[in-house]
Amino acid sequence: MKEIRIKTTREYSVLVGHGAVAELPQRLPALTSARRLLIVTDDNVAPLHLPALEQQLTGYELHHLVLPHGEEHKNLDTIVDILTCLKSCGFDRNDLVIALGGGVVGDMAAFAASIYMRGISFINIPTTLLAQVDSSVGGKTGVDFGGAKNIVGSFHQPLLVICDTAYLSTLPPAVFADGCAEVIKYAFIDDAELLELIDRGIAANIEAVVSRCVENKGRIVAGDEADRGQRALLNLGHTVGHAVEALSDYQISHGSAVAIGLHVITAAAEQAGLCEAGVQQRLAATLSANNLPLACPYGAEALLERIRSDKKVSGDGISVILPQKMCSSRIEKMSFDQLLTLLKGVLA
């Protein structure tokens, strides 16, 4: 097992390894004086992992809330359900929320914890590859609102994150592939060594891959916790990806949408001479090798209309993350007209 320290306003550990969740009972007393624990999970994860987790947590007043799965439930109504559960169970400021699930569960449980009694503690136990390598680390919480992804939320750092790679063996292939998109993103931001590891096989090197991604995110977040500068690099592929998700009414998964977004923005940057030749071909091969889509089902105009509601919008423009050479990306501020022209270079 590997322990990685994330140095934010609240410094915390991320544990990575097969069976890492077994560390939770012995870690809890040093982290919290909580008497009550609420485990928030969903109806996909609960039958697989909830009973075993509850059996480990002896000596606490345990409660659990099983939410319906899916991005369509990532909204304020569900947050009200979590808050209602906390209130009805008598939770106070010293008690604890545990998120057990993928990115949707983690984002919502953490957001509810951040606003209940103006903030109570939470622990994140991500059960998907996507959540382990990305959304569980960094303190971003939130829900979708008004057709915009994660536009209502807060920053609330966890007490602890446990990335138990044993959970990943229960994932359907498509859900595992979703996480691969985020892994590939890190490589093309600035990690050539991670790209070499990906080439050797993500599943075959899962603990090393998860650890490397967590280290990358921790480094970037530590330098820009409030997402006002370099943290934007983590959105490589996401500006287009979030638009693809929304236009599909979330029928295209987050990972698949990010893969499409990575491919579109890299092809567009290369076509416009903003990225050195060959990056798009290398990216496309890596995405395809990991069972991820490339083709965008929407045109440039439709994408831009959705992008206008992105939380990275400022005035009449937006910060876009552009690859500039192999495993190197940068932040570029663009007007909407410039972005539309860029996208039209590769899309109708």
Which residues, 6 or more positions from 245, have their beta carbon under 8 angstroms from its beta carbon?
Answer: 71, 149, 252, 253, 254, 257
CA atoms within 13 A on the CB side of 5: 4
Give the pLDDT band (50/70/90) at residue 313.
Answer: confident
Q: Give pLDDT, residue 314.
A: 81
In 36-78, DSSP assigns E strands to: 36-42, 61-67
Q: Is the pLDDT of residue 4 over 80?
A: yes
> What integer is the mean pLDDT of 145-155?
92
Measured distance CA(228)–CA(71) in Å, rounded: 26
Enumerate domains of the chain plus CATH numbers. Answer: 2-170 (3.40.50.1970), 174-344 (1.20.1090.10)
Classify the C-alpha dihedral 22-97-71-309 as positive or negative. negative
User: Average pLDDT, whole number, for the chain?
Assistant: 96
**What would the pLDDT profile of 83-101 be if each residue is shown by its tens digit?**
999 999 999 999 999 999 9
H or E stretch at 145: strand 140-145
Give the pLDDT band (50/70/90) at residue 24.
Answer: very high
Give the pLDDT band (50/70/90) at residue 35.
Answer: very high
Q: Is the pLDDT of residue 28 over 80?
A: yes
